Amino acid sequence: MRQNALLRSGKGLGLPGTARQKVAKVAKVTVVPPFVAPDEERHDHFALRNGVRCAGVHLIVDVHQAHGLDDIDLIETTLRRCVDAAGATLLHIHLHHFQPNGVSGVAVLAESHISIHTWPDAGFAALDVFMCGSANPDACIPVLREAFQAERVEVNELLRGRRA
């Protein structure tokens, strides 16, 4: 019987049936504080860097006097090599080739990301290498230096989400 036919028949409009009685009962709820596992048992993918527990290691990388910064295929291959070298998990790569030149893009990782922005005319590229868990962002530096034949690579490190 369709719902509107049931209402027209008048059935179920008097005393509540057994199904309604069960819904009407209020269950007693006990609030239990959340379980917090000790740090060594947690699966939050925090990283440990020089004895400091943090959400992740963020390397700010400037590549100077570099070559191949307008070669989108080289850049994609280099990002993939960085991911492999770091022991990270690649989810997606998106690159955009600007006109007349330059490339911007990101490799999205399960462990965070690697982003790149290039200025081929200036021989300069700016990268962010941010990784959590057991991934090793430092392993990307020699890959970048070699791929872009960089004369100089500057690296600044930030420990994101430091834990006391």
Q: Where are the alpha helices (DSSP H) in the chain?
A: 3-9, 18-24, 72-86, 140-147
Q: In the CATH scheme, what is the homologous superfamily, with its name and number, of domain 43-160?
A: S-adenosylmethionine decarboxylase (3.60.90.10)
Tens digit of pLDDT for each residue in 43-63? 668 887 888 888 899 999 999
Task: Tell me if the pTM is above 0.85.
Answer: no
Catalytic residues: 112, 117, 132
Tens digit of pLDDT for each residue in 9-25? 455 555 554 444 444 45
Q: Where are the domains of the chain?
A: 43-160
**Phi, psi (5° rounding) for residue 77?**
-60, -40
Rounded to whole angstroms, how far apart are CA atoms 57 and 49?
Answer: 8
